[in-house]
Amino acid sequence: MNQKVKNIWSIIGICLLVAVIFYVPQGVFAVMATFFLGIYYGMQGMKSDEIVNNMPDGILGTLGYVLILSSIAAVAIFVILKYINLKEAFKPNKTQWKLAPALIVASIAGILVADIFSEMLNFEDMLGEQMQGMAKSIAGMIAIGLIGPIAEEITFRGVLMNKLREKGLGPWATILISAFVFGAVHGNPIQIPFAMIVGVILGIIYYKTESLILCCVLHVLNNSYAVLTMNLYGDSGKDLTWADVFGGDLNTYMTLGLCLILSVSFFNWYWKKA
């Protein structure tokens, strides 16, 4: 096996390792939650068939706590393994504050492009009901809107991108591979293309600023908006399209084009000049 092939397998191994470390705690805490729910239902005098019938709703009610605890556990593992130094990763003096407002505007435009594009693909939403259920609880709101996004930025920007750079990859290879992994691990078809595009945007920002601060702010804003939308519109929000928001397909396409030009033009300038 030549060195090039070894490097490719090494890169694949790093991507898988980071993804596994991030997601294994979710499985562990989910199993624990199911176990304790079974004990709780049993103590309430429920029979086996009643426990089985109540378990889905019970698990949905604990998902917020599961995601909070598993996110914290995953970050703790990365810190223990010395894959990341959180103090260094969140150093504010590395963030280009003068450009922060422009970066936020251009990023929001890019995120809107990603969302409209994902909607056009019309992929299946396999986790819509679970996300709707989670967003109704305080723990779920915190998990989706705050803890989850920060943990994902630490994992897929702070850890994975640095590990890929250590393998000798160039800027764009690092950004694109990390964005691909970030999208793929979401697992939900409707989220994958959106997450990949957003992953590129956040990857550029992290690569240039060498700080997770703006990445976390943008990720939290995006997810908090999703939580707000799910709570405001409830189940009806699942059928709400950007054409409904903008008043027709033409307006949606025009918005898509303008946001695409704005985002691409700014990030092209930012990459070359900042």
Looking at residue 237, its pLDDT comes to 58
Instruction: Kindly give the confidence (pLDDT) of every residue in the chain, 274 residues in length, as a single tens digit, with 9 standing for 90 and above.
Output: 577 778 889 999 999 999 999 999 999 999 998 888 888 888 887 777 777 677 777 777 888 999 999 999 999 999 999 999 999 999 887 667 788 899 999 999 999 999 999 888 888 888 777 888 888 889 999 999 999 999 999 999 999 999 999 998 999 999 999 999 999 998 888 899 999 999 999 999 999 999 999 999 999 999 999 899 888 876 665 667 888 888 888 899 999 999 999 999 999 999 988 6
Looking at residue 45, its pLDDT comes to 79
Looking at residue 264, its pLDDT comes to 96
Looking at residue 153, its pLDDT comes to 98
SS (H, E, C) the chain: CCHHHHHHHHHHHHHHHHHHHHHHHHHHHHHHHHHHHHHHHHHCCCCHHHHHHHHHHHHHHHHHHHHHHHHHHHHHHHHHCCCCCHHHHCCHHHCCHHHHHHHHHHHHHHHHHHHHHHHHHCCCCCCHHHHHHHCCCHHHHHHHHHHHHHHHHHHHHHHHHHHHHHCCCCHHHHHHHHHHHHHHCCCCCCCHHHHHHHHHHHHHHHHHHCCCHHHHHHHHHHHHHHHHHHHHHHHHHHHCCHHHHHCCHHHHHHHHHHHHHHHHHHHHHHHHHC
